[in-house]
Chain A
Amino acid sequence: MTAGISVIGLTKTYGDHTVLDDLHLTFAAGKIHGLLGANGTGKTTLMSLMSRHTFPTRGRVLLDDREFGEDPRQAQRLCFVRENQLYNDAFKVRDVLRIAPDFYPTWDAATTTRLVDRFRLPPATVVKKLSRGQRSALAIVLALGSRADFTFLDEPYLGLDPGARETFYEELIRSYGAQPRTIIMSTHLVDEAAPLLEEVVVLNQGRVALQAPLEEAEALALTLSGPTTSLDRWLQEHPDHPSLTRRTLGPTATVTTLGPLSDAESASASQAQLRVTSTSLQGLVAALGNSNHEVA
């Protein structure tokens, strides 16, 4: 198995605005990665930089430990059809589907045919006339059909109804099962997509707030609730478990914090009349997005 994508000191600024700030990341090959975070945290920019659609202000991206620059054989290993992908106004769906197989030696015609059928994509329709959901479906067809070594999916479900989203998840697993490869998917429907993910990266304000395997990330998310004074005292005594978000209702409060708790910590929480519950990955992402905390 190859090394994957290495992001080294990646920074992207637009004028005074820093979108990504000195990112260091590795996306291991052959896994499905979730790229998570609030709007405007730099997810699409990061994918654009990794696929060389745009250039970094500083830093480097390595594909299997190599700079790829203008090497066509390396570029051919990438597929990044954006959620707002531009198409020539003259192109019909069938025009795009006719030429796309020429771009990838790994093109999966059977998957393409099946997906076009399942998403009911109208071949004779001009792409610019497609609905939001149909454009997403076309992007999914291209991304999964390509079987590119490094496939980027940028909020691929936009405009898709729940049934079509189920189709997408099912086909993603099927395609990945047939040929494991590196898939990096940004999504806001975190809990819905979580069963597909093996690793998650959470971005917050252009920095990495968390990178961990899915199980570890899910174990990190906890809520503590109970009397406000007890909760505050417990948090003071356990600085390893910072309050990421907090809600106060009368004399009680609830905080989202980072787990897991040791047996001793669980016992002390219980003694302080605090209730410990796990929260969803979506809750953790939202909490990290509302704080400036970075998980080492």
Chain B
Amino acid sequence: MTHALRPLKLYLANRYFVLGVPFFIFAVVVVLSVAILAIIGTMQGFPLSEEVRESTRNNVGVLFSAPGFLVSVGVYAATRNFALALALGVTRRNFWAGTALGFVLTSAVTATTAVVGLGLEYLTNHWFIGVHVFDVHMFGNGDVTLLFVGLFVTAMACLAGGALFGTLFRAYGTVRTVMWGAAIGVAALALLALAATNEARVLAWQDAWGEWLSVSVVAAVAAAFLAGSYAAVRRATV
């Protein structure tokens, strides 16, 4: 365990980058969402109509704002941090374990930030003008557990996906990484096609599981990416 903590410390070397940035991303989402509603309010008059306020429950900013950043964190960890970890006498297996722990931390901080944001959203009566940022349909309209777990597994999937492709690059080079990417893309399309041809069954699952079905799928993707990066890191070189 001690040996895996060293690459974790390497991952956390710049704490602001891996733990602080999600907070700022969500803050920007809140500011932009409020700004957009303020513009609408300026045109239509305050207070905003119930219809406008309720429409912001479809706000997907909190889900789609952070993935780009999180994927880049995963890629950097698997390429740059990997190179420095090996330089400083870390084994590949320990590097993977320590970095995966780091991903858990980043994901937990991301999800916790969203939960705190949800609390603030309630405290401020939806940011003073009735805009919904965290209290949205896709996260169960204020379901704290769904918000936390949903964002946690999404962040893990993004970090692990970035790490998988970074590790594939280190193990196999550019051309074969692109081929791996294409293969993963084709596999994803095949799964979607399978779901489409079994629409009735998928809808039945959706009815039974609700939003937790999507959360489970994303969690499975994150687990598959982590397993893939573990398999690839054994062949990764500098």
Contact = CB atoms under 8 A, between A and B. Distances in A.
Interface of A: 48, 51-55, 70-72, 75-82, 85-92, 95-96, 98-100, 102-104, 142, 146, 148
B88 A53 contact: no
A72 B3 contact: yes
B10 interface: yes
B91 interface: yes
Given A52-B86, A75-B91, A76-B3, 6 more contacts: A70-B92, A75-B89, A91-B13, A92-B14, A102-B6, A104-B88
Interface residues of B, number: 27
B204 interface: no
Nearest to B86: A53
B79 interface: yes
B13 A99 contact: yes
A128 to B, nearest CB: 10
Contact of A86 (B9, B84, B93): B84
Given A86-B80, A86-B83, A89-B80, A103 B90 contact: yes
A51 B92 CA distance: 12
B141 interface: no
A146 B88 contact: yes
B87 to A, nearest CB: 5
B179 interface: no
B89 A95 contact: no
B17 interface: yes
B177 interface: no
B212 to A, nearest CB: 35
- Which residue, B9, B86, B93, has most C-beta atoms of chain A within 10 A? B86
Contacts of B5: 102
Contacts of B6: 102-103
B198 to A, nearest CB: 42
A221 B91 CA distance: 42
Contacts of B10: 99
A79 B222 CA distance: 33
The 4 A-B residue pairs with the shortest CB-CB distance in the complex, in nearest-first order: A86-B83, A72-B3, A54-B237, A90-B17
Contacts of A48: 237-238
Nearest to B76: A88
17 contacts: A48-B238, A53-B237, A55-B237, A72-B94, A75-B91, A79-B88, A79-B89, A81-B88, A85-B87, A86-B80, A86-B83, A92-B14, A96-B84, A103-B6, A104-B89, A142-B87, A142-B88
B112 interface: no
Nearest to A85: B87
A88 B14 CA distance: 9
B13 A72 contact: no
Contacts of B84: 85-88, 96
Contacts of A96: 13, 84
A142 B81 CA distance: 15
